[in-house]
Amino acid sequence: MNQYLERFRADGKVAIVTGASSGLGLGFALAIGSVGASVVVAARREKRLDELCGVLNSEGIAAHPVVMDVTGPDQCKELVRATVDRFGSLDILINNAGLGGSMPSHKESPDHFRNIVDVNLMGTYWMAQAAADVMAPGSAIVNIASLHGVTASRFPSAAYSASKAGVLGLTRDLASQWSRRRGIRVNALCPGYVETEMTGESMGPLSEMVEQNSIFGRFGRQDEMDSALIFLATEASSYMTGSTLMVDGGYSVV
């Protein structure tokens, strides 16, 4: 195999993908498995995880489902423990579990705000913390943030935007702590608007807004996010840490 293409492979590696039962997470599980990794898929919906594992197995990808909630630090530790018990190591964490929600700030309840931050920011931290305890040098953590971590949304989304901005700050700090001392790279991927289950219910207003406010004037595709994910999760990005990779069709620069 071409030496450059080899750097995009994950043969012999073990990956966790959180929030894998739908949307980007489902695609990320297929993507990282397709380049050689064994995959533990984690989410709250058992049936969807079982279905995904069936698809992964049919593609020749070793996969294992774990039902869990990233807002529980003990559940995050148990997920990591189950991964090591099943496959012997943990080399890649794709911190994808997330919760959206648009709400005018003057109407937003404390519980609504806390719930989004708890999943998107705190859950990302608990998972990274649990994973780092068992990761060997050369491992990679990819935190899935959002373009709204760096630019304002056209819809009222204070909790979501704040949580994703927090993920970017967390990424930088964990990279500073772990990359030299432990050899664990920590980067963030910021997708733009992609056609998923989260965007499907409001495609009309979103389509018009994306067309007007991005350079490409269209939604992103799952495969376009997958390519960026594989880059950050493999040796292809071995000299990157603490970085934020924007894959948003130019939305954040218009």
Structural domains of the chain, with CATH: 3-245 (3.40.50.720)
| pLDDT band of 156, cuts 50, 70, 90 | low
| pLDDT band of 246, cuts 50, 70, 90 | very high
| pLDDT band of 184, cuts 50, 70, 90 | very high
Please check the confidence at residue 60 and state whether its pLDDT lies above 90: yes
Give per-residue pLDDT as tens, 98-126.
998 876 788 778 889 999 999 999 999 99
Q: What is the mean pLDDT of residues 13-25?
A: 96
pLDDT of residue 24: 96
Whole-model pTM? 0.94
Please check the confidence at residue 80 and state whether its pLDDT lies above 70: yes
- Catalytic residue set: 160
How far is the CA of 156 from the CAs of 117, 148, 163, 203, in angstroms? 15, 11, 14, 16
Q: What is the mean pLDDT of residues 198-203?
A: 57
Please check the confidence at residue 174 and state whether its pLDDT lies above 80: yes
**pLDDT > 70: percent of the chain:** 96
